[in-house]
A and B are shown apart, each in its own frame.
Chain A
């Protein structure tokens, strides 16, 4: 019983992890307005110089 409950818990954790991976992939590929992207890129650029 305890192990079957845990199997369900691990199943839910797996779904959350895979779901988040999918969401991450979608977020990284979505169309972002070019001005926002430029702002982010320049911020990254300056933080990497620092």
Chain B
């Protein structure tokens, strides 16, 4: 599968899209085997169809966010989460259009909105749709609404369950179609799968995590308000990973509490028993990393991600483009390359605000003689005597440094979203093949 993905990512994408469409449309296709109901009219049937599709899409969100390695391994968690966001908005639209069609074509159905007198099937629909509206609003505008990450994540999970459970109760209550035997079996199977995924994510996976604890060995201060959290495996061999991948960390609490945070490993993949995560103090959880005491218990869920040089063993070399704390996965790639005595050329273009802010500045200098490594620092606020590059990583700067034979390298970008978009567009302008460009969003959620 991985070889096919390398050779033909489009074929794999079409396969996954086909699977997604088949599952979403299956409830409708099954109905075609039965005799159509009489006299309901085109618009009512369209409304029903959109409702079924919307509900199936919402149930599928459980699979998209369950971090199933098979799905995730094809494209990476950030792509899957972005697909989850876009398809949620589509499902939201379909679910809202579903009653609006009825309200327009049969105005008497507006009475169903009176939840005091409406039948239970309508109350379930109103509750499910209200939960969906709250979920969408709190997800899209979480930061402007100043909702902290951990309570939001718990609320998000609860609302998702309410939406699907009440949506299914509404469909069962209407029962026009669900009374058909095949249909009820299918929806029962979909609901069961969603429930099993929930049990897997909330119970089985955390249980496995408790079997492989880690202890904090040290917390090392770095330049740029970054702290490196070093974990040592406790009673097991650690977590084998590929350089550039990330894991979800649970610190000092039980993994069953689902308060975990994603961070890239910054250490060498050659030593899976000692894992380092370099974390910038940016939010409520990351601000407290510096206060973590050695000996604190930690749990890891991972590794995840396809942002790794290991997938491109036959590449002639690598171009790494980092902005700020985006250096973390690059550091793992470089130290791993040194330990493996990789003789391929590495070009690191590293954007920082000031010279004193450059995380891993000294460590990178130490790697230089041990690897075919070219480092280009780009500073936004350079010191007066600075001779190097300044400003932003733009088309001109990239053209100056990347090899003439663009397709001979794999390009890795990890930075803030604005820089990633700009660099990606510039590489596209410079005719770097799209399939050679790999990106990692470090603010997944």
Q: Is B285 in the interface zone, CB < 8 Å from A?
A: no
User: Is the beta-carbon distance between A24 and B31 smaller than 8 angstroms?
Assistant: yes
Q: A25-B43, A25-B45, A26-B42 are in contact. Are A6 and B79 (CB under 8 A)?
A: yes
Q: A1-B425, A20-B28, A29-B36 are in contact. Are A10 and B50 (CB under 8 A)?
A: no
Minimum CB distance partner of B48 in chain A? A25
Number of residues of chain A lying within 8 A (CB) of chain B: 28
Chain B proximity mask over A9-20: 1 for CB below 8 Å, otherwise 0: 110011011101
User: In the assembled complex, which residues on chain B have CB atoms less than 8 Å from the CB atom of A27?
Assistant: 32, 36
Task: Indicate which residue in A14, A26, A40 contacts B90 across the interface (CB closer than 8 Å).
Answer: A14
Give Cα A41 to B50, complex, Å: 25
Give Cα A21 to B53, complex, Å: 8
User: Is the beta-carbon distance between A48 and B181 smaller than 8 angstroms?
Assistant: yes
Minimum CB distance partner of B428 in chain A? A1
Chain A proximity mask over B223-234: 1 for CB below 8 Å, otherwise 0: 000000000000
Give Cα A48 to B43, complex, Å: 27
User: Is the beta-carbon distance between A22 and B46 smaller than 8 angstroms?
Assistant: yes
Contacting residues of chain B (82-109) with chain A, CB-CB under 8 angstroms? 82-83, 86-87, 90, 94
> Min CB distance, B420 to chain A, in Å?
10
User: In the assembled complex, which residues on chain A have CB atoms less than 8 Å from the CB atom of B82?
Assistant: 3, 6
Q: Is A47 in the interface zone, CB < 8 Å from B?
A: yes
Q: A13-B20, A17-B21, A44-B180 are in contact. Are A29 and B428 (CB under 8 A)?
A: no
User: Is the beta-carbon distance between A29 and B34 smaller than 8 angstroms?
Assistant: no
Minimum CB distance partner of B54 in chain A? A17
Q: Is B398 in the interface zone, CB < 8 Å from A?
A: no
Q: A17-B21, A24-B32, A32-B36 are in contact. Are A2 and B45 (CB under 8 A)?
A: no
User: Is the beta-carbon distance between B35 and A2 smaller than 8 angstroms?
Assistant: no
Minimum CB distance partner of A16 in chain B? B21
Tally of contacts, chain A with chain B, CB under 8 A = 83
User: In the assembled complex, which residues on chain B have CB atoms less than 8 Å from the CB atom of A29?
Assistant: 36, 40-42, 45
Contacting residues of chain A (20-50) with chain B, CB-CB under 8 angstroms? 20-22, 24-29, 32, 37, 40-41, 44, 47-48
User: In the assembled complex, which residues on chain B have CB atoms less than 8 Å from the CB atom of A40?
Assistant: 34-35
User: Is the beta-carbon distance between B90 and A13 smaller than 8 angstroms?
Assistant: yes
User: In the assembled complex, which residues on chain B have CB atoms less than 8 Å from the CB atom of A28?
Assistant: 31, 36-37, 40, 45
User: Is the beta-carbon distance between A13 and B50 smaller than 8 angstroms?
Assistant: no
> Min CB distance, A3 to chain B, in Å?
6
Task: Indicate which residue in B32, B36, B439 contacts A2 across the interface (CB closer than 8 Å).
Answer: B439
Q: Is B376 in the interface zone, CB < 8 Å from A?
A: no
Minimum CB distance partner of B24 in chain A? A17
User: Is the beta-carbon distance between B86 and A21 smaller than 8 angstroms?
Assistant: no
Q: Is B270 in the interface zone, CB < 8 Å from A?
A: no
User: In the assembled complex, which residues on chain B have CB atoms less than 8 Å from the CB atom of A13?
Assistant: 17, 20-21, 87, 90
Task: Indicate which residue in B45, B83, B180 contacts A24 across the interface (CB closer than 8 Å).
Answer: B45
User: Is the beta-carbon distance between A17 and B424 smaller than 8 angstroms?
Assistant: no
Give Cα A40 to B36, complex, Å: 9
> Min CB distance, A21 to chain B, in Å?
4
Give Cα A41 to B434, complex, Å: 54
User: In the assembled complex, which residues on chain B have CB atoms less than 8 Å from the CB atom of A32?
Assistant: 36
User: Is the beta-carbon distance between B434 and A25 smaller than 8 angstroms?
Assistant: no
Minimum CB distance partner of B25 in chain A? A20
**5 pairs, CB–CB < 8 Å, chain A vs chain B:** A6-B82, A13-B90, A22-B46, A44-B180, A48-B181
Given contacts A10-B83, A13-B17, A41-B35, list 4 more A-B pairs with CB under 8 A: A24-B31, A24-B32, A24-B45, A44-B34
